[in-house]
Structure 1
C-alpha cells in the first residue's frame, strides 16, 4: 500500500472553528456565515500524497505558473506534501439535521461571562492600540473587541488545521453539495491568494494554521482578505494575525473602514414594544443585509422607536429591519443602519452582526 492510498489520523491540538456561508468573506473576508458552529475534533483523518499527481492540481499549477509566474517545481513540491483532510471535508458540510434558528440560544454563546471577562483583559492589554485604531479608522474600540471576541475569544481558538491542507481539500475535493461548483471556485481563489501571500511575505506554506475553512489568525481572515485588508499595525515589518494583537486590531479596523463604516454613527436602533411597531417590522423584514428603506417609510407607516432619535434629521437615513427569531417565542426586531450592514460584510448573518455589537457593548460596560 502506498502513502497515496493510506488514510492516516493526525492529532489536533484543540477545537476547530467553522465557517459556513460566505459572510464577510464575500467573499467579503472571513468565510464565516449564518452562524459559526464549534466542533470538537481530537484527531484529523488525512490522506498523504493525494495531490502529488492529480489532474486538478496540475491544472491549478499551470494556471499559477502562467498567471502569477510561480516556479512549477516549487508548486509541485508543495502539493506533493499537502494532504487531503477527510475531517475538513466532513466539517465543511452543513448539519445533516439543521435545527431551527434561535437568536436567544445564539446570543447566549457569545454574550456570557467568560467571553466578556476575556474581552476586558484584551481591551486593558491593548488599550493604546485600540484607541489608535479608533482614531485612524473611525471604528469604535468596542466593535473591534466584539469581532475578535466572537471570532476566536481573543486568540484562544484560532484553529489547528494546516491552511495548505484545508484549502487544497476544499479546492480540489469539495464534497458533493448543490453549490459545489461555486464553493470549489471560491476555495481555489482562496488557495491562490494564500500561495501568493506566502510568496510575497516569504512565509512557509506549511507553517500557517487556521480553521478548517482556511480562516487565519486572531480575526479569522480568509487569504483574500488577508491580502487586501491586513496591516502591519505593530510596525515590526511583517503582518502576523496569529501572534500580534496589534496587527489583528488594525486589520479589523481597516476592513470595516474600507467596507463603508460611518464614524460616530449608530449600529442599530431599538424598536418600541407596541404590537403595531412589531407588525410593521415583521412586514418589512426581507432578510436583506443592506438598507432597503428609509426611516421615514417605516415611521410614516406607524413604526415607533425606543430611542431618542431626531426623526426629522434622520428621516432619509437608510435602514433595514433585523429579524431575530427564537422558536416558540415572539420574534425580536431591531432597526439596522449602515454600520450594521458593514458588520454583515464580515459575516452575513444578522445573528453574528448583532452578537458582535452586543458583545462589544457588554465588554465596554464591564470596563467601567
Structure 2
C-alpha cells in the first residue's frame, strides 16, 4: 500500500467548530449550521494523493472547467490538487446524525445564551466599541446583532476551525458522502471551491494557508468563500481583507452582509405573542416553516392573535410577518412573530433557532454592558 492510497492521520490544531447549514450565509453565502455541533479531535484522518493527476474524475472535470472558464493554469491546478487530501474526518462530520434527536429550542438556546459567551461578548464589545458604533451608523445594523452573530459563530474568534479549506472543500466537492441530496450538495461545494480558488488568486493568498471549519467556513464570522468574495470588506482600511485576524474586518463584513440582504434600520427583529390559548392556536396553525414574511400582521390579528408588545396596531397592520415556531420536547412549543429583520438573519443561516439565538445573545450582551 503506497503513501497515496493509505489513510493517514494528521494532528488538528484545535477544536473544529461546525458551520454547516445551507444558508450559505443564508441560503447563499455562509453555509452555517442549522444546529451547530461542536467537535473536538486530536487528529484528522486523511488520504493523500486522491486528487492527483486525474485520478478522481470529478476533480479532473473541475480542473478542466477552471482552466476553460477562469483561465487558471492547468499545471498550477494539478499541483494544488496533487497536494490536496481527502479528509475522512470531514466526510464523517458532514453527515447528519445516524439517529437524529428531536429539536429542542431550550437546549439549543442554553448553548449560546450562557455566561461564557455573554462575558466574552462584553469584552469584545468594549474592545471594539468604536468600530461597532461606526458599523451601526454605516450599515444600520445594531451593534448587538453583529456581536450576537460573531458570538454564536466562533465565540469572538476563539473557535474558527482547524481544517485546511482546500482539503475540506475538495472532499465535499468531489467525494461527498452517499446521501439522497449528494448531487446538490456536491454542486454547492464545487461552487464554493471555485470561489475559494478565485478569491485566493484575487488576493494573492496561498491556497494551503487558510484554515476553517470542516465545511470550509472561514474566519471570525465564518464566511463561506462565496460570501467572502461578495460581502467581505476591508473595514480596518489596511489594504487587505482578513477575516481570521482582524475583528474590525469581521465586524464590517457582518454589517455589510446584513445590510445588503435587506436589513431595515431601526426596525424590530421579533414581536412577542400573548400567551392565551387562542393566540397560541392561531400561531400554531400559521407556522409553515418558511423563513420569509408570508402574512401581514392584520391577517393574524383579525383571526384573533394578540401581541404582548406596545405597538401601534393601525400603523403596523400591513407589516409582513412570519410565525417563528420553537419546539422543545415535552414542553409547549414557543411562538414569536418574526419581521423582515428576522428573515435577514436567516440569510446568514436558515435555522429559526440560529436567528433567534443570535438576536437573544446580542440582547443579553447589551444588557450586561449596562
**How high is the TM-score relative to the length of structure 1?**
0.99
What is the aligned partner in structure 1 of residue 144 from structure 2?
Answer: 142
**8 A Cα contact 2:132 2:143, kept in partner:** yes
What is the aligned partner in structure 2 of residue 338 from structure 1?
Answer: 340
Taking the TM superposition and a 5 Å limit, the aligned residue runs for 1:261-300 are 261-300=263-302
Distance in 2 (CA, whole Å) between partners of 1:38 and 1:266 is: 30
Distance in 2 (CA, whole Å) between partners of 1:199 and 1:159 is: 22
What is the aligned partner in structure 2 of residue 207 from structure 1?
Answer: 209
1:185 is the counterpart of 2:195? no
What is the aligned partner in structure 2 of residue 38 from structure 1?
Answer: 38
1:303 maps to which of 282, 305, 325: 305
Distance in 1 (CA, whole Å) between partners of 2:316 and 2:37 is: 37
**8 A Cα contact 1:134 1:253, kept in partner:** yes
1:327 maps to which of 326, 329, 346: 329
Stretch moving more, 51-60 or 265-274: 51-60
**Cα distance, 1:82–1:146 mapped onto 2, change above 3 Å:** same
Distance in 1 (CA, whole Å) between partners of 2:290 and 2:97 is: 24
2:105 maps to which of 99, 103, 124: 103
What is the aligned partner in structure 1 of residue 48 from structure 2?
Answer: 48
Taking the TM superposition and a 5 Å limit, the aligned residue runs for 1:117-266 are 117-266=119-268
**8 A Cα contact 2:27 2:349, kept in partner:** no
What is the aligned partner in structure 1 of residue 358 from structure 2?
Answer: 356
Shift of 1:26: 4.6
SS in structure 1 at match of 2:299 = helix
Distance in 1 (CA, whole Å) between partners of 2:20 and 2:103 is: 15
**8 A Cα contact 1:19 1:92, kept in partner:** no
**8 A Cα contact 2:26 2:346, kept in partner:** no
* Equivalent residues, number: 368
Unpaired stretches in structure 2, ≥5 consecutive residues? none
Distance in 2 (CA, whole Å) between partners of 1:289 and 1:350 is: 8
Shift of 1:158: 0.2
Distance in 1 (CA, whole Å) between partners of 2:34 and 2:165 is: 22
Stretch moving more, 288-297 or 47-56: 47-56
Shift of 1:28: 2.2
**8 A Cα contact 1:320 1:336, kept in partner:** yes
Unpaired stretches in structure 1, ≥5 consecutive residues? none
Stretch moving more, 271-280 or 54-63: 54-63
4+ runs deviating over 4 angstroms? none
Stretch moving more, 53-62 or 210-219: 53-62
RMSD value over aligned CA atoms? 0.8
Shift of 1:13: 2.0
